[in-house]
Amino acid sequence: MRGLVAMAMATAVAVLSPRAAFTADAVAGGHEPIRPLMAIAGVDPAKAELGRRLFHDPMLSRDGTVSCASCHVLDRGGSDGRPVSMGIDGRVGIVNAPTVYNAAFNLAQFWDGRAMTLEDQVNGPLTNAAEMGTDWPTVLERLARSPYAAAFRTVFGAEPDAPAVRAAIAAFERTLITTGSRFDRWLGGEAEALSASEKAGYALFKSYGCASCHQGAAVGGNMFQRLGFFASGGIRAGGPLPADLGRFNVTGRPADRNVFKVPSLRLVTLTPPYFHTGEVATLDEAIRLMGRLQLGRDIPDRDVALIAAFLGTLVDPAALATP
Ligand code: HEC
Ligand code: HEC
């Protein structure tokens, strides 16, 4: 009982002060804040395979030029390497594309968490004018006239409809889990899986307090936090845009201004540029900025390099899907 109360308190503190929360956790003793990634059990392989085809098919965009994979390039970390994405007609968006790898573990989807599930998330890009720019009736009519119709009958026992398209794509995304990293092998007891610098980087990641927000199997994705915990103000060079209000746009609560989902850091070495603005080009700069904004600390270059080395151990490149 006492243990439960202590845990509940540590969780409550995490919302108020990352550093204090980490200390409380460390005093409570015991487990590492990062857990190994595990494949998700029970994903229907036939649904996932149909979802894989749909994910790569530009037929889902208005002019047939853009697929999910255009912006979530699976062999390049599941993002697009651009500050902001480019959709149909060369239209540009306003936020950076996160990776789709391990998104299945997010407490909600999008930077502001406005979609509760992977299934709901699909509506966003499909209808966004700067992304795929289409609508469900158009997509369903095309699918019905294509070889997909037979595949939907086999897998779902029915003609293509929106819930089935969403379910198939979400099933595929639930297979995009990057298991087997060196860090996870180290967690599993393989002491030699990490170098001395990488272990030192992990120790710093915990002692600075990064792990109070970036934690769990995905090293993020399991809470919302304010960007600018210690230093307030936006980070967008040209001044704030409505999207920079983050979670406030979903809940309307003043306390949610500039609050974002803490992103997973599992593939962070593969997915520059950084932050929802996509304006920070290098990982080193992102780490320094986090020190200043979230922890009120200037992190010296040596520690930045060690933390970056640790972050590189969080993914096994062999776990990325090939096109
Ligand atoms: C034009 C580029 C583009 C296309 C096409 C696109 N996305 Fe995205 N995706 C983005 C951007 C940008 C975001 C972040 C948007 C936001 O948070 O407001 C995003 C967010 C996501 C997320 C949430 C990840 C997270 O960590 O919150 C998932 C999942 C996702 N996309 C899957 C898909 C799927 C499935 C498709 C195809 C149906 C698709 N995307 C098509 C650019 C794109
Ligand atoms: C108080 C919570 C909190 C703490 C502490 C914290 N972060 Fe973050 N981190 C966030 C949030 C929220 C974002 C997303 C902000 C945005 O883009 O709007 C983020 C984003 C990032 C990104 C960019 C990821 C991407 O894909 O764009 C990196 C890298 C990062 N953090 C590393 C760190 C490191 C290293 C530390 C410790 C020095 C740290 N963070 C401490 C909450 C936190």
Report the chain (323 residues): mean pLDDT per 10 consecutive residues.
37 39 40 96 98 97 96 96 94 95 98 97 94 95 97 97 98 98 97 98 98 98 89 74 93 94 98 96 97 94 98 96 75
Q: Are residues 8 and 27 in the same domain?
A: yes
Q: How far is the CA of 45 from the centre of ligand 2 (A)?
A: 34
Specify burial of residue 218 (Cβ count, 10 A radius: 0-12, 13-18, 19+). Answer: buried
The residue among 154, 173, 192 that closes a domain is 173
Q: Are residues 6 and 94 in the same domain?
A: no
pLDDT of residue 230: 63
Q: What is the pLDDT of residue 323?
A: 65
- Atom from ligand 1 closest to the CA of residue 131: 1
Handedness of CA 191, 209, 251, 79 (dihedral sign): negative
Active-site residue 131, yes or no?
A: yes
What's the pLDDT score for residue 29? 38
Tell me which residues have their CB closer than 6 angstroms to ligand 2: 18, 208-210, 212-214, 225, 227, 229, 260, 262-263, 265, 268, 271, 274-276, 286-287, 290-291, 294-295, 307
Spatial CA neighbour of 174 closest among 119, 246, 214, 248: 119
Give the chain's domain count: 2
Domain ends where: 173, 208, 231? 173
For residue 187, the CA-to-ligand 1 centroid distance in Å is 31
Q: Among all ligands shown, which has an atom nearest to the Cα of 71?
A: 1
Provide DSSP, 207-220. HHTGGGTS-TTTTS
- Is 285 in the same domain as 198? yes
Q: Which residues lie with the beta carbon below 6 Å from any ligand 1 atom?
A: 55, 60, 66, 68, 70-72, 85, 87, 93, 95, 97-98, 100, 103, 106, 109-111, 118, 121-122, 125-126, 131-132, 169
Give the number of other Cβ atoms within 10 Å of residue 137's Cβ.
Answer: 9
pLDDT at 91: 93
Helix (H, G, I), strand (E, B) or coil at 200: helix
What 3-state class would DSSP assign to 246?
A: strand
Residues 6 or more apart whose CB falls under 8 angstroms from that of 63 comprise 88, 89, 133
Question: CA 155, CA 114: separation in Å to the nearest integer?
Answer: 29
19 and 65 in a single domain? The answer is no
CATH code of the domain containing 94: 1.10.760.10
H or E element at residue 261: strand 259-261
Tokens representing 196 are 């001395």
Quick one: 196 and 106 in the same domain?
no
pLDDT of residue 168: 98
Say if residue 273 is preceded by a cis peptide, omega within 30 of 0: yes
User: 210, 51, 62: which is closest to 129 by C-alpha?
Assistant: 62
**Cα separation, 148 vs 160, whole angstroms:** 8
- Residue of the nearest CA to atom 14 in ligand 1? 97
289's tokens = 């900025």
Q: 3 CA to middle of ligand 1, Å?
A: 39
Check: CB of residue 307 under 8 Å from CB of residue 297: no
Domain that holds residue 282: 2-37+179-319
- Among 32, 49, 131, 159, the one annotated catalytic: 131
Q: How distant is the alpha carbon of residue 153 from its chain centre?
A: 32
Mapping DSSP to helix (H, G, I), strand (E, B) and coil, where does residue 259 land?
strand
Among 253, 216, 259, residue whose Cα is nearest residue 106: 216
Domain edge (last residue) among 150, 173, 196 = 173
pLDDT at 314 (0 to 100): 98
For residue 272, the CA-to-ligand 1 centroid distance in Å is 16
